[in-house]
Amino acid sequence: MRALLRNYVGGAWVETGRTFANINPVNGAKVCDVSEADAATVARAVEAASRARDGDWGRMGDEERAALLRRVADRIEARFDDFLEAEVADTGKSYPQARTIDIPRGAANFRIFADLIKAYPNESYEMTTPDGAGALNYSIRRPLGVVAVIAPWNLPLLLLSWKVAPAMAAGNAVIAKPSEETPSTATLLAEVMDEVGVPAGAFNLVHGFGPDSAGEFLTRHPDVDAITFTGESRTGTAIMKAAAERVKPISFELGGKNPAVVFADCNLDAAIAGVARAVFTNCGQVCMCTERVYVERPIFDRFVRGLKEKAEALTLGRPADTGVDTGPLISAGHRDKVLSYYRLAVEEGATVVTGGGVPRFGDERDEGFFIQPTVWTGLSDEARVCREEIFGPVCHVAPFDTEEEAVRRANDTDYGLCASVWTQNLSRGHRVAKRITAGLVWVNSWFLRDLRTPFGGVKLSGIGREGGIHSLNFYSEPSNICIKL
């Protein structure tokens, strides 16, 4: 692993005078230093991207771009272990998770969008004209130009490449800004772009923070043509204000407060296992994680008992330990935030069914950012911990009596990213899924999705849809050409 991660601008590695530390959340130790891009470095990245857009990269045909992106996927796979080690060091997530989800999906994104761009259809319509000769309309799609990609830390390579790959497939020049918490795999991705011969400026990487740092320098830059962002809803608001100045296209994948609705006619064991996965995966740090659970009253006590058992059976540990289910939270700051919600829940009158604190190991992990998986009951839907996104391994479980009530309470939120419904009644599954206002509703499952389907949220959970052709729709714009015959 490198001692200093640098910015990648116009095909060259760039250091600035300023660095920040990349910290391993398992033990609080420094992984490496990172060169923070200043305003001048971000401006150089925008210039380089603009030149690429107007130069070789902009003139490259779909076939050639697709071939390059496939080489990116191949090269990530060839350097799989480098990516794996880097992702695990930055996030503390278990090797099995990074090995089966983060890195392979990160590589797959480049292959998927390389294939899709070649099959992307254009429209054409013939129309009649008063002189009887007619006219032919057809659309062509143009890239947006210079696209800023701003990513979070929870699935670093996967979520960055989920945007970089379609943006580049559609012909845009990209400036990627990974989270300051997880800069390593993005830097490896820049190395890969360099190694496979992506033209200078087509992919640029700037490191840094949000406000008054690389993130804001990028979103406020007048020559950035579009912004695609995954992160907190509050950050989305700040970026939207920056984008409003020049009415830039935006695509936002934001926070959630996702419900699970468990009916008495469900397969109880499957529902308990499914909801436990939805609450505790990646230490609760997946935007699709469940934080509100509504359970039909006849099975409420059994469900809570079952979820408590699942939570208490989770093994917290280091990425390389065998049988580890859950790693740490990403940072000391995030652990303090989640712990403040643990305290608030008690102040608001919650019954702590399990967890609620910080585990003690008696080894280096005590310097890391571990937290106990936690389950609460007994709060009203108005409690702050039932309304605000916590982004930790925690949920509140509440009983309900009717389907109508369950739907109303599931929808009583400022967010609308996803939901899960647990029932063996097929009609009810369809009916409730249709009535829940969220971008994605699972019936009897969670975190299952064909990558071609639309992904995104409603309300505070986002704007727009990405995934498959929906991504290409965002990263390119149609122009209509009308030929009088």
Positions annotated as catalytic residues are: 253, 287
Tokens of 216: 């804001």
Nearer to ligand NAD, 215 or 373 (CB): 215
Burial of residue 16 (number of CB atoms within 10 Å: 0-12, 13-18, 19+):
middle
CB of 152 to ligand NAD, least distance (A): 3
How far apart, in whole angstroms, are the C-alpha atoms of residue 13 and residue 206? 10
- Which position among 39, 238, 268, 314 is part of the footprint of ligand NAD (CB under 6 A)? 238
What are the beta bridge partners of residue 135? 127, 484
Q: Is 328 in the site for ligand NAD (CB under 6 A)?
A: no
Q: Which amino acid is at 239?
A: I
CB of 454 to ligand NAD, least distance (A): 12
Q: Is 204 in the site for ligand NAD (CB under 6 A)?
A: no
Q: Is 468 in the site for ligand NAD (CB under 6 A)?
A: no
Nearer to ligand NAD, 219 or 377 (CB): 219
Q: Is 457 in the site for ligand NAD (CB under 6 A)?
A: yes
Binding span for ligand NAD by CB under 6 A among 247-255, 348-356, 357-365, 470-478: 247-255
Q: Is 417 in the site for ligand NAD (CB under 6 A)?
A: yes
How far apart, in whole angstroms, are the C-alpha atoms of residue 361 and residue 250? 44
Q: Which of 156, 213, 212, 180 is nearest to 23 (CA)?
A: 180
Binding span for ligand NAD by CB under 6 A among 84-92, 98-106, 129-137, 212-220: 212-220
Strands, E, within 215-274: which ranges? 226-230, 250-253, 258-262
- DSSP type of residue 199: P
Binding span for ligand NAD by CB under 6 A among 18-26, 82-90, 184-192, 224-232: 224-232
CB of 464 to ligand NAD, least distance (A): 11
Binding span for ligand NAD by CB under 6 A among 46-54, 131-139, 208-216, 394-402: 208-216
Q: Is 256 in the site for ligand NAD (CB under 6 A)?
A: yes
CB of 153 to ligand NAD, least distance (A): 5
- Map 402-467 to HEC letters: CHHHHHHHHHCCCCCCEEEEECCCHHHHHHHHHHCCCCEEEECCCCCCCCCCCECCCHHHEECCEC
Nearer to ligand NAD, 268 or 332 (CB): 332
How far apart, in whole angstroms, are the C-alpha atoms of residue 236 and residue 232? 6
The answer to whether 277 touches 101, Cβ cutoff 8 Å, is no
* Position closest to ligand NAD via CB: 210
What are the beta bridge partners of residue 35? 19
CB of 462 to ligand NAD, least distance (A): 6
How far apart, in whole angstroms, are the C-alpha atoms of residue 293 and residue 261? 6
Q: Is 239 in the site for ligand NAD (CB under 6 A)?
A: yes
Nearer to ligand NAD, 356 or 457 (CB): 457
Nearer to ligand NAD, 337 or 430 (CB): 337
Binding span for ligand NAD by CB under 6 A among 129-137, 210-218, 266-274, 375-383: 210-218
The answer to whether 264 touches 299, Cβ cutoff 8 Å, is yes
Q: Which of 271, 253, 269 is nearest to 261 (CA)?
A: 271
CA atoms within a 13 Å half-sphere pointing along the CA-CB vector of 218:
30
Interface residues for ligand NAD in 149-188 (CB under 6 A)? 150-154, 159, 177, 179-180
Nearer to ligand NAD, 229 or 400 (CB): 229
Q: Is 258 in the site for ligand NAD (CB under 6 A)?
A: no
How far apart, in whole angstroms, are the C-alpha atoms of residue 36 and residue 124? 47
* Residue ranges binding ligand NAD (CB under 6 A): 150-154, 159, 177, 179-180, 209-211, 215-216, 219, 230-232, 235, 238-239, 253-256, 287, 389, 391, 417, 457, 462
